[in-house]
Amino acid sequence: MWKRYAAVLPANPWNWVAVWRRNYMAWKKAAIASILGNLAEPMTSLFGLGFGLGAMVGGVDGIPYVAFLAAGMVATSAMISATFETIHATFARMHAKRTWESALCTQLTLGDIILGELAWAASKALLAGTAMMLVAATIGYASWPSVLFALPVIALTGFAFASLAMIVTALAPSYDYFIFYQTLFLTPMLFLSGAVFPVTQLPDIFQQLSHLLPLAHSIELIRPAMLDRPGGSVGLHISALCIYAVVPFFLSVELLRRRLMC
């Protein structure tokens, strides 16, 4: 059984680049529309809630509410971009377009393909999160050059959420099932992770639950970097994101092996 599983793992450390490059070449044709689509929801939240609700809320933890919200929207934009790339575009390449079927006829293994898809989703998340962060910096709600420390976190956030979404892609019979993942997992996480308001405002049980959510760990790393403040438990937050990136990857490899090769 181990030999059968090992045969679908990445063949070497660089094969995934072919998958990443193929997706990049296809994406270039609609790059502007793709970026705008990924930024629409977090940008609306930033300006609508940040300046609208912010006028009534005032400050949060000694900073303007819009500055507090901006960091949450950077992490959220990375989450949305990586997730939607995986559950829609990746699912289409696997299921409808049969791109994976063609790739598996080459020297690429299933693990190479999945790793390339996750790396591509993380790249799009980095692009979306960076664009969001630049907007926040332009309007004066992010500090230079400390925001640069957030870039690796944004990429890791994208990889973690792409890895989680790959499990959904492996299990979903059709596009119709993705709405459950969005409404039952992503949306509640947005409000439980400190993106819109401090976690300390939640009941104790939800505060404890927030410690298990990947978005909360991402925000705890990005917000101090954007506000040029010292962060706490940095190693813990990075380790949590790495676990969310690595464990679902191996699980999705096995699930997709069963789906495509049995």
pLDDT average, residue stretch 217-222: 96
Lowest-confidence region among 73-82, 130-139, 149-158, 201-210? 130-139
- pLDDT one-digit tens code per residue, 169-211: 999 999 889 999 999 999 999 999 999 889 999 999 999 999 9
Q: Given this model, what pLDDT does residue 236 score?
A: 95
At 147, the pLDDT band (50, 70, 90 cuts) reads confident
- Taking phi over 0 as left and psi of -120 to 50 as alpha, with beta for the rest, 58 belongs to left
* % of the chain beyond a pLDDT of 90: 58
pLDDT of residue 7: 60
SS3 content of the chain, % helix, strand, coil (to 5): 80, 0, 20
* Nearest Cα to Cα of residue 69 among 194, 180, 174: 194
Give pLDDT tens digits for 90-131.
999 998 888 999 999 999 999 999 999 999 999 999 998 998
pTM for the whole structure: 0.92
Q: Please state the rounded mean pLDDT for residues 14-36.
A: 88
Candidate from 17-26, 28-37, 128-137, 219-228 with smallest mean pLDDT: 28-37
CB 162: neighbour CB atoms within 10 A? Answer: 34
**pLDDT tens profile 27-46:** 988 878 777 776 676 777 77
What pLDDT sits at residue 121? 97
> Structural domain boundaries of the chain?
15-261
Structure tokens belonging to residue 8: 């679908």
**Mean pLDDT, rounded, of the chain:** 89
